[in-house]
Structure 1
């Protein structure tokens, strides 16, 4: 006997919380990442509504654009070469030798990566000013520049500072690669009588080849998109690059220049993505997979240990301490170019920066709450995304991860142009334009920094046994309950590490927000350049020192919490 079918409960047809959150994230990422990039592509290829390759080729072939593109390419390649050489040397010292004081030296070596590049450029410029101790040393050695000349205002100066800024990126990648070299191969080579030099160049470095090219790719992308150094040195030195050309044209012509700036942004994006693909191809051209235990091993420095240690710290003194001391000295004087003495010593610049200049105070608070909100929102998004990427890797989830990686790989100024193009017109239904408001900066931050917090969060989920989630699901716990009670506490340390990296990166960034800020929405990054261009060098130096103090404060707090964080998530920890 057949029983009559009961009508289906309408609530059973509703999507669960898991699907609702997933589709909400899809909608948000589509609005802040995918749609702006597609709008940028459309504006570059079809500004009038139809495909116009002739205009695109004519603009790229113009003398000014072609010169800027050539300068961008060769400067980035030269800076990458310097970064690779310095990063390899630093990774060898830290990962493979018995140099004493590694922890402090790594902190000093990583610090320039955390300091805003425009502050680094400002410090180096003032380090070669007539009032700095380095200038006196150069004058004694006969290498001092002529009066009124600044050697850093040149392509060579840009290459040098970009190379120094990219070296920590190469170091972090290569150090991780060297730690994965199996100890059995090294011990076998030693037994056969291989010298330390032969062991390094014939066994260790070939096995670290993927990590070397990965670090080179990071340095190349960072060099192409580093607005702070290129603007501080290239604009006064009349060395045009693509990123400074976008900045100057948009500032002079306004939104009318957006179609042409979309083409230049697309050219920057193609350059960086091509560099990433070439690096991946070269790094993966040989199979270097081996079987063995990635155990720590060292190459004793022997009699040269003291000399190498002194040379390493002397390098830190020249490249880090001297520029920062010059910046500090300038911030404590009454006027730029004055030598620091009891007669010129003053704290007025700091008082003005903290209390007497509303633009600086407003920029600090704007940057602070924007950065905190960005870190909180991205941490929540990364925790949920890591769940699906780790255990439910569907095509939709892979697309979300790919979009976050692409947004992170592109220079921030490309994200900024894409955000302007997409949010310039009023939003449908709401009839509100985000252009000129602080919310467009927030949208660009969320798009650009998602991958930065997602990567360590994924590492945390990789250490969680999925059986815990499955057992809770069998017990009847719904998705949000499982996330809150089981998964979030276990993944929280890794997510916290990602949030710290986002905070340190976003607080002082300039690439993303330089084209999005206005007089009412100024952030700390672009403010340094504005102060320097306005002739307030001492006030810019004081603001730069305050920014460095904030970075050191949060790095110190993160270090105090390092015992609760997964190993390796803080880049300045050995």
Structure 2
């Protein structure tokens, strides 16, 4: 019964929308064909947007990989001081919505920057903004997705046995040789996975290319899809379905290539995971710590200071002084604008429901994928692969698929989900299932099968074994997955950008609409409140995490 429910869930919320999307985008006269994509590529705007998407995703993913791996190696393998603090601060940009990141950096470096104006360093009025265009989009995509690479590589470092590294050190290998000959080759599959994750995340990013690319005439596919969907032409849905199918195919190809290369580069390891190495930095420790402080200052402190500086001035463009400082913008968004409070409520409800439902489904699916029963295990592995593929597909593509699926009222029930908060919740369930599943699957694979066998021999049925044996052991991982889903969904804009309507606004859509409508100070105030709420939530979770089992709070070492 449980397995059937999971299959129905995957069929209704994953397979059916994506199948309908591919059918709409890859069918001509009822026959599967690539002609719609070929015809779309004849358009100069589509080919330019496709190239811009691939270029920005590929280059930004390389930059994210370089910085993320370096930070992960410092935190995971060396005697760097303040690791927990640095880990917390490095992950904050990942929890900040991409469009908030774009707004913060736009206000940090532009001629109207209140912070630079207060310091007398603002560029002259009329100077082109340095972030508008290709370079700005690539740079901020790298900043946004570097923490993803950091998390993947840091998790891989924690699972590596240290016998080979110890043997190399005994044989006289220095840190550089140890890194190049032992550690990095063992990390090769994780490095490929981290790059693929950063690539597909950048490929589907909407907020940064929309706010920085449109003014600089650097249009990517997600932005082009949003523009086509806003045109309301007679062939609008068909056009965006073709572009969305193109993005879905690119993401699937990238993941398939990554899995193939990872399989070829995987090394068989002997022995269980052990505590990681602690390489002495010696006199270089102060330099490494200074580098980490500089990284946090550049990626977090500077844009956030500028964001709050903009939120505190009377009018955008004025320098931040005692005469121009005001709390009116915060008062406006928190007390006078009903849409902002409604957006916070909608985001909390949608993200909370998605986190709770996905935590339960992920726990059950991870269990089914690890059982010895061949049929159940094959179905579980298949559903896990489907969740991974769905996560790799850009979120804006999922939004289009849900529009196509739920545009009409549901059959039999005759209830319409379109233009309601429920369609956003369902889209979250599809888009973020893999986020909840990853930590639970990893924890489930580490369980000794003898525990389940002993309970079975004692006469415990499947439900009793789940409640008394399995759930207590994987509860920390389940909570970790739920926390990641909530934080990801709470601040997202790409999924809800195409699904929201009046009354179902989310935090991300309200901030974007403020900025797009020219209300820069209100957008900054709303973004500032969002950042504060996110950081406060992370701090509370970190404090509670000290009393909880290891693994519940994802960023705690």
What interval of TM-score do these two structures reach, taking the shorter chain for normalisation?
A: over 0.9
Whether the 8 Å contact between 1:47 and 1:259 is mirrored in structure 2 is no
| Residues matched between the structures, number | 553
- C-alpha separation between the residues in 2 aligned to 1:520 and 1:77? 37
Stretch moving more, 43-52 or 526-535: 43-52
Alignment of 1:57-96 (within 5 A): 57-96=38-77
Q: Alignment partner of 1:269: what SS?
A: helix
- Tell me the CA shift for residue 170 of structure 1: 1.4
Tell me the equivalent position of 2:289.
309
> Which of these residues, 364, 370, 373, is aligned with residue 390 of structure 1?
370
Gaps of 5+ in 2: none
CA distance in 1 between partners of 2:323 and 2:179 (Å):
55
Q: Give the equivalent residue in structure 1 for 2:81.
A: 100
Alpha-carbon deviation of 1:567?
Answer: 3.4
| CA positional deviation for 1:223 | 0.7
Map 1:339-350 onto structure 2 (within 5 A): 339-350=319-330
- In the TM superposition, residue 79 of structure 1 has moved relative to its aligned partner by 0.3
2:280 corresponds in structure 1 to 300
Range that drifts further, 131-140 or 485-494:
131-140
How far did 1:277 drift?
2.4
1:110 to 75, 91, 94: 91
1:560/1:48 CA distance change after superposition, 3 Å: farther
Structure 1 length normalisation: TM-score?
A: 0.91
Q: Deviations over 1:50-83 (max 9, x none)?
A: 4454333111231111111011111111101111
CA distance in 1: counterparts of 2:233 and 2:181, whole angstroms:
55
Aligned to 1:502: 485
| Residue number in structure 1 paired with 2:225 | 246
Match of 1:322 in 2: 302
Q: Is 1:336 the counterpart of 2:319 in the alignment?
A: no
Quickly say closer, same or farther: Cα 1:284–1:145, change in 2 above 3 A: farther
d(CA) in 2 for partners of 1:202 and 1:490? Answer: 36
In the alignment, what sits opposite 2:12? 31
2:407 maps to 1:414:
no
**What does 1:121-270 correspond to in 2, within 5 Å?**
121-132=102-113, 135=116, 144=123, 147-253=126-232, 256-270=235-249
Name 1:489's counterpart in structure 2.
Answer: 472
Shift of 1:109: 0.9
* TM-score, normalising length: structure 2: 0.93
Q: Secondary structure at the match of 2:231?
A: helix
CA contact (8 A) 2:112 2:125 kept: no
Matching residue of 1:3: none
Q: Which shifted more, 511-520 or 457-466?
A: 457-466
Q: Does 1:361 align with 2:344?
A: no
In the alignment, what sits opposite 1:351? 331
State how far apart, in whole Å, the 1-side matches of 2:172 and 2:379 are. 53
Contact 1:145 1:151 in 2 (8 A): no
2:130 is paired with a residue whose SS is coil
Question: Hey, what's the Cα distance between the residues in 1 that align with 2:292 and 2:439?
Answer: 30
Of 382, 385, 388, the match for 1:402: 385
Pairwise CA RMSD? 2.3
Contact 2:57/2:202 (CA < 8 Å) preserved in 1? yes
Return 5+ residue gaps in structure 1 as ranges: 1-19
C-alpha contact (below 8 Å) 2:114/2:309 kept by paired residues? no
CA contact under 8 A between 1:497 and 1:565: conserved in structure 2? no
Deviates most, 368-377 or 384-393: 384-393
Larger radius of gyration between Structure 1 and Structure 2: 1
Distance 1:452 1:431, change over 3 A: same
